[in-house]
Structures are given as C-alpha cells and as structure tokens.
Chain A
C-alpha cells in the first residue's frame, strides 16, 4: 500500500499506509495521531486538521476551495504550505507524501 509520512507537533515522524480514495485527514486520524482533532469530522468547518505539506507536493494536490482558504485564514499558523487534511483525497501518485501537523490554534 502507498504511504505518507506524518510529523507530529513534537517533531516525531511516522509512516502511515493509506487506502487511495481516503482523505489525508482520515488516514492520519485512523493511524491514531492525537494531534489531529478533526472536530467537525471532515466537512471543512473547524480547521482542526490543519497540516503543512512538503513543498515538493504542494503542486500535486487538488486546488484549494474558497471555503478551505477562508478557514485557514482564521489560523494564526497559516503558511504557504498549509492545507486542511480533510479537503484532499490521497491518490497512489501521492505515495511518499510528507506532512507536518500544524500547531494548535
């Protein structure tokens, strides 16, 4: 199975196998990373699944919607690599994706 690499807020990295088609949030959440709260369950309404994406992959991800952009605007930790992990699905092409869980707002 393809995998992604997740770095926690403490700086520890762990690999996670993913099922293509699931969102990045689902893959990270199901792998029991306590840093990802995902309070809204994936409907783009809480921004508690905020991650930073490895710059090499930023372009490969589906474009950000206006809703996702607006929500990220509310975070004091936003940068050019920010995404909400519930807002894109993992494809086999994203095998090896590296993400870091953003600090809590």
Chain B
C-alpha cells in the first residue's frame, strides 16, 4: 500500500498538524478508528464509538497521563497484563498528577463530588448577572476603541474573573490571579519539549487557597469559599485541606484556556460562515445551538490521553497493558459514521449534545455548564454592543486567505490571537 510507504506525520510536533489537525485526523481515521501510530508507542482513537468506549471504561483505562500524553515516557517499564500496581506506585512521578483530570478511582469520584455543588444550575443562573456585567465592562471599552485582541484582552480576563467569582475569591485578589495566568503558556506546549505543561501560575494561586481554606475552616461564614472549605467526601470524612487547594487551583487552569479558546473559535465561525452573523443577530436564541456545533466542529480540546491499566480491547482492537492511548475527541466529533456531512456547519443537527467535546463518562468536563453559559453570555453581549464584527485584515488577511496562528499545543485547539474590528451598535 502506498500509505505505508509515506511516513506518518507526527501528531505531537508537526506544524502542519497544528494548523489543520482535522485533515491529519481524517488521514489517521482512514487507517482505522483505532490505529497504532508509526512514530510513537501510542494508539490513536479517532472513531466516535471507539472513543466513547475508551472514555467509559475506567476499569481498564487510567487517566494518569491525561495532561502529558506522549510528551513524557511512562516512568516505568510495563510488566505483564495488568499494570495497575505499577501505575499506582509511579503515579506521583507523572507531571500533573495533582490535577483532578489525572485521578482515578476511588479518589477521582470522591474529589469530584466536592466540586459538584459549585456547578448546580441555580448557582450558575445566579452568576449570570455578574458574567453579563463583566462582559459589558470589558466590551464597552473595546467597542469604543473600534476593536480588540479578543483572546488576551477579553476572553482570558473574563474567564479568570468568572472562575474567581464561582469560587468566591475576594475581589482584591482577583487581579493578582489574572496577572499570574496571563504570563503562563497553555498545556501541551509544542514549543517546549522539556516542559510541555507548565504549572507555575497554579502554584502561585495555590498559596492564596491555602490561606482561604484554613481561614474558612477556622471561622466559616456564609460565602462560597466557606461552603467549599467545609465540604465533606460522600462517606462523611473530611478532605485534607491541600486537596481542596489542588481542586480550586485546578479549576482556574482547566477553565481558562479551554473557554477562552472556545470563544475565539466561535468568533471565527461567526465571521467566516456566510450569513451566520446576521442570523444570530436576528435571533440570539440560536446562540446555544451555535455553540454546540462549534464544540463539535472545533472544540477547544483536540485530544485527551489514557493508559491501559490492563490488557483490554477497544471494540475489535486488542490493547496491551501499559499502552498509551490518545483519544482524539475532535476526530470522533467528525466521524462520518456518526455525523452526516461531518465537515459541514449545521445549526440543527439531531442529538448534537452527544458530541465528545467535553469528553464523556466519569471525567466529563465538570465545568461544561459554566463554559456554555460563559460563551453564550459573552457572544450575546458582543452582538448587543456591535452592529458588525470582522477580522482585522491588517493582522489576519482577507477572507479565503486568512493568516491565523494557533496556540502551539497538542491538546488545546484555539487561536493564539484574534484581532477584531468592532463597529458600535
């Protein structure tokens, strides 16, 4: 076969894959929905049913390598058909092992339960006024100037302040958090193979949460932080204070890049899909359906990672214990067996919410309802304050010949910068 004669592009370092991962995923899918990559000791899952199966199967797949993927070798040599004990023994040596996404049972459901209440619909509803006011404040200034760089000037501060509000962080500290996050690179950095995922901003913020948790535990009040600080595990036991610190800082890291990039990706569709901007302006009730289709076509997490705990199968393919698996969420969301005309943008797809942009199963993005609300409100306010939104052609060129720079990450899909021209309403 000619396919085998051509060397496969490397998912983790090839710039052409960064620019258009969908073309690459299509190529991999054509080799099979579960495919052993040529260049790395890793299996890529690009099929919808297959991805769902891996995500659902927490018995056979561990999330321990979720944030570093193939960028780091496993800290052990897999032995035999069950490496559960090896993963357990070496888990702490894998970068990101203190982040909720990398936890496995039984700690994972226990820790996750401490966060559930934060995302209750009534709570998110109560935050909408804050989100809307914050969006107005950020946008009024940008509209007055006639434009902005959406990602850093609007999206990043917006999502950082919203998570701070979610957790009840005192107003005076919120600016400090933003400054710390502004300076850090997103996870899965392709430009720094020594340090593909950097955690220093989160460490800085952890210092604040150590204080919050201890203060609130000593003298609980009625605020969100007090409720969080005194939350108990489902079995009634009290979590270690440091576990709460890890969980709260994790929310900032997890919610920031992903939501900010989703906003950027949404804007690109609004501007470059003919007629769409006007359609949404005429009927803003379409915004939620629009967001779902953007999540499917260009969600902000391209992939997530698992490692096989035991010798297992993904539908027809055998997976040995210790094998690393890249679950290509973005590919599953374009699987032609699941989605009719998968590359087409459509606002009325049946069962659209079954896309895998937020994952599925035990590790489904806990912040998905918040992300949806944040993006919906920001888009609504953007349309409210403007009569037209366009790309700044000085930065991004003309339609059909756009110059767009994507964040150099093998996990995150999103524009590094998005310069907009905003015409006041």
Contact = CB atoms under 8 A, between A and B. Distances in A.
Given A21-B235, A67-B120, A41 B366 contact: yes
Interface in A2-46: 21-22, 26, 29-30, 32, 37-46
A67 B124 CA distance: 11
Contacts of B365: 41
Contact of B116 (A29, A39, A42, A71): A42
B121 interface: yes
Nearest to A87: B116
B234 A41 contact: no
A10 B58 CA distance: 26
Contacts of B116: 42-44
B353 A45 contact: no
Contacts of A89: 234
A41 B235 contact: no
A30 B181 CA distance: 36
B360 interface: yes
A46 B369 CA distance: 9
A37 B354 CA distance: 8
Nearest to A41: B364
A37 to B, nearest CB: 7
A20 B185 CA distance: 41
Contact of B234 (A21, A29, A44, A70): A21
Contact of B122 (A38, A40, A46, A66): A66
Contacts of B361: 29, 38, 41
Interface string B342-363: 0000000000011000111111
Nearest to B353: A39
A71 to B, nearest CB: 7
Contacts of A45: 119-121, 124, 368-369
Interface string A88-103: 0100000000000000
Contacts of A22: 109, 234
Give chain B's interface residue range (CB within 8 Å of chain A): 20 to 34
Secondary structure call for the A interface: loop
Nearest to A66: B122
Contacts of B353: 39, 46
B155 to A, nearest CB: 22
Interface string B236-256: 000000000000000000000
B51 to A, nearest CB: 15
A44 B235 contact: no
Nearest to A86: B116
Interface string A48-74: 000000000000000001110011000
Contacts of A70: 121-122
A43 B119 contact: yes
Contacts of A46: 353
A18 to B, nearest CB: 13
Given A30-B58, A45-B119, A40 B235 contact: no
Contact of B364 (A32, A40, A66, A67): A40
A92 B58 CA distance: 24
A39 B121 contact: no
A43 B234 contact: no
B195 interface: no
A37 B368 CA distance: 15
Contacts of B122: 66-67, 70
B120 A41 contact: no
Contact of A43 (B59, B109, B120, B359): B120
Contacts of A38: 361, 364
A19 B192 CA distance: 43
B368 A40 contact: yes
B56 interface: yes
Contacts of B58: 30
A41 B366 CA distance: 7
Contact of A67 (B59, B121, B358): B121
Interface string B196-214: 0000000000000000000
23 contacts: A21-B234, A26-B362, A39-B354, A39-B364, A40-B364, A40-B368, A40-B369, A41-B368, A42-B364, A43-B120, A43-B366, A43-B368, A44-B116, A44-B120, A45-B119, A45-B124, A45-B369, A46-B353, A67-B120, A67-B122, A70-B122, A71-B121, A89-B234
- Which 4 residue pairs are nearest across A and B when measured between Cβ atoms? A41-B364, A45-B369, A43-B119, A21-B234
Interface of A: 21-22, 26, 29-30, 32, 37-46, 65-67, 70-71, 89
Given A22-B234, A43-B366, 17 more contacts: A21-B235, A26-B362, A30-B59, A38-B361, A38-B364, A39-B353, A40-B364, A41-B359, A41-B362, A41-B364, A42-B116, A43-B116, A43-B120, A44-B116, A45-B120, A67-B120, A70-B122
